[in-house]
Every structure is written in structure tokens, then in C-alpha cells.
């Protein structure tokens, strides 16, 4: 049996058929395009840090909190170096945020005259960072980490040393050991030496911050500049000299974020806000000690801390 021949399509019908076919194809392409667009990966939030334990802990805390409270992906770019390296990375857009200290930004980056009021320093730093760099300081973590000028406990007891003014009488016979930044920064050794009239038997040695306490206890140096939240301070026989002339400004720890990043990802601000006032100075010292002295993994230390704080 022969099949019936197809009827020829009339011109008007063919035109309507062609239009319908074109609309279907365009709709299909549109849907495909939308699907492809929606499937494009969101650029990860890049978190940086300086190159010492506390910075690694704070940066990891921010990373885990963002991952837990948002749908954002995080890229960890830690151990970048010192203050100026991290600041430049933030301004240039190579990183989106990192933890910093108000006194450091106020004096080392902004070159502002030393101020003592913590609220004033935070607000002034916040204002200038917004205007000059388009950067935002979010809520402080809850603790300050100031420079700690440290001597051996046995020397402090033997010489009855309680303040930096007390120590200034003995430094001409001493050797000092400082981190690289402390030697150069406006709020570091040059100003401290001028304020207290500090002179040493030889030029201060510059060394990695992880080595200063080892050098002090081994009597390779007699005075070092550490941080007030260093974990080893609670374990070793060391004495922190009081800054009796109030040379150092307040150093509140807080995240700094690019304003463009906050605008693009609104959920990021709320995640960082949840970290406000969550860490005391004692708790930060404990976290540092767990990593430095007890050799615990930073990721686990942060996970455990987040559980205790319901973060």
C-alpha cells in the first residue's frame, strides 16, 4: 500500500510554521543561557593573614564562620607577611578581608599621632579607611593585643623591675630582640626608645616572632617585644614590663573588609558581625597556647572554640 502523499504547505501556513519554530528555538536558547548563567561559580571570598599564630587563628575563625553561616566559598591565603603586605593586598583587591589591630592601622598605616582612647582610635581609623581606601572595619573581636615588652622572670625579681622606666636603667648592659616590623614601625622601637631613653649594649637583633622567647630563655637576648596575648607568657617564667608612660596606643583586633565585597555579598557582614565581642584577651591567649605550646591543629582549635561559643 502506497503512503498518501504529503500535502504541500501553503505560503501563509509555511510562514506561521517558521515563526513558531523560530520562537521555540529562541526560547530554548534563552533557557539554556539562563541555566548556564545561574550555574557560573560564585567567586570565593579571599581571606588573608599576617605570618604569626594569632593571625592564622583569627583568619581561620573568619573563614569557618563565613562557611557555616553563608553559602559563600572561602579561599584561604594566609601567612602573607606583615602589616603592609596585607594592607596592600586588600587595597589592590588580591584579598577581600583580613584581621588587623586598630593601633597598628592608626599609627603604622595612617601615620596618626598616638592616641590613648580605644573608642576614639577605632572610630577615627574607621572613618579614614572608608574615605581613603574604601575599606570597612567591622565589629571588634573583643580583645586588645598590645605590644608586650618582656624580660626573664629571674631578672625582674633580682632587679625589682616592674615598669619600662625601671628597665631603662639596666638596658645599656642588655641585648634586645625584636620582630622585623617592631624595629621599623612608627609605634615600634624608635618611638619606644625615645620615650623611655632606651639604649642597649648592641643594636637590637631582628628575628622571627616565633623565636623571640626561645632566644630570651636561652639568654641570647635580655629583653624582647612580644604580644600581650602570646600563649607562652602563661607557661614560661617571664615578666611583662608595664608601659608606665602609656606609649602604645590601643590595639583592638577586628576584621577589615573591602566595601565592594560587602556590597556584593550582603550575607558576609552578618557573618562577621556574629564574631563581635566573642573573644576575651584570656581566651585569645589560650587559643594561641593551644597552637604554639600544645602543637594542636589550628583548624581543630577553631572548630572547638566555635562550638563553645555556639558559632
Both 137 and 262 in one domain: the answer is yes
pLDDT for 40: 52
Q: Are residues 254 and 138 in the same domain?
A: yes
| 152, 232: one domain | yes
Measuring CA to CA, how many Å separate 52 from each of 18, 179, 279, 284?
68, 11, 18, 13
**pLDDT tens digit string along 25-49?**
434 434 344 444 444 557 899 999 9
In a domain, 277, yes or no: yes
Q: Count other C-beta atoms under 10 Å from residue 199's C-beta.
A: 11
Question: pLDDT value at position 33?
Answer: 43
Please state the φ and ψ torsions of residue 158, each to the nearest 5 degrees. Answer: -65, -40
Range of the domain at 196: 147-241
Asked if residue 155 and residue 70 are part of one domain, the reply reads no
Nearest-angstrom CA–CA distance, 45 and 264: 11
Q: Specify if 231 maps to a domain.
A: yes
pLDDT computed for residue 29 by the predictor: 39
Q: How many domains does the chain have?
A: 2
CATH number, domain at 122? 3.40.190.10
Phi first, then psi: give them for residue 310, nearest 5 degrees. Answer: 55, 45
C-alpha cell recorded at residue 214: 626561645
The answer as to whether 181 is a domain residue is yes
**pLDDT tops 90 at residue 14:** no
Question: pTM of this prediction?
Answer: 0.76
The answer, yes or no, to whether residue 246 has pLDDT greater than 50, is yes
pLDDT at 133: 98
pLDDT digits (tens, 9 = 90+) for 173-193: 999 999 988 998 878 899 999
State residue 37's pLDDT score: 42
pLDDT in the model for residue 122:
96
pLDDT in tens, 282-295: 999 999 999 988 99
- Please tell me whether residues 208 and 234 are part of one structural domain: yes
Amino acid at each position: 500500500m502506497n503512503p498518501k502523499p504529503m500535502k504541500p504547505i501553503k505560503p501563509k501556513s509555511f510562514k506561521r510554521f517558521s515563526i513558531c519554530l523560530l520562537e521555540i528555538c529562541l526560547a530554548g536558547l534563552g533557557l539554556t543561557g539562563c541555566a548556564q548563567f545561574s550555574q557560573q561559580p560564585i567567586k570565593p571570598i579571599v581571606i588573608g593573614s599576617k605570618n604569626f599564630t594569632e593571625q592564622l587563628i583569627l583568619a581561620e575563625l573568619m573563614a569557618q564562620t563565613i562557611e557555616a553561616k553563608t553559602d559563600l566559598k572561602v579561599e584561604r591565603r594566609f601567612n602573607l607577611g606583615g602589616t603592609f603586605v596585607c594592607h596592600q593586598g586588600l587595597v589592590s583587591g588580591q584579598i577581600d578581608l583580613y584581621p588587623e589591630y586598630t593601633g597598628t592601622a592608626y599609627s603604622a598605616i595612617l601615620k596618626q599621632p598616638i592616641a590613648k582612647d580605644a573608642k576614639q582610635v577605632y572610630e577615627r581609623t574607621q572613618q579614614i579607611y572608608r574615605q581613603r581606601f574604601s575599606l570597612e572595619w567591622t565589629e571588634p573581636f573583643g580583645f586588645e593585643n598590645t605590644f608586650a615588652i618582656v624580660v626573664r622572670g629571674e631578672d625582674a625579681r633580682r632587679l625589682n623591675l616592674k615598669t619600662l622606666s625601671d628597665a631603662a636603667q639596666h638596658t645599656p648592659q642588655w641585648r634586645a630582640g625584636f620582630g622585623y616590623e617592631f624595629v621599623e614601625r612608627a609605634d615600634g622601637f624608635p618611638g619606644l626608645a625615645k620615650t623611655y631613653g632606651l639604649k642597649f649594649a648592641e643594636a637590637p637583633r631582628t628575628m622571627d616572632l616565633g623565636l623571640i622567647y626561645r632566644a630570651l630563655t636561652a639568654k641570647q637576648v635580655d629583653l624582647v617585644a612580644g604580644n600581650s596575648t602570646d600563649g607562652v607568657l602563661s607557661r614560661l617564667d617571664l615578666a611583662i614590663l608595664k608601659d608606665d608612660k602609656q606609649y602604645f596606643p590601643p590595639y583592638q583586633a577586628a576584621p577589615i573588609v573591602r566595601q565592594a565585597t560587602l556590597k556584593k555579598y550582603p550575607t558576609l557582614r552578618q557573618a562577621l558581625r556574629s564574631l563581635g565581642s566573642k573573644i576575651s584577651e584570656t581566651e585569645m591567649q589560650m587559643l594561641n597556647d593551644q597552637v604554639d605550646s600544645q602543637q594542636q591543629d589550628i583548624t581543630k582549635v577553631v572548630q572547638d572554640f566555635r562550638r563553645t561559643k555556639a558559632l
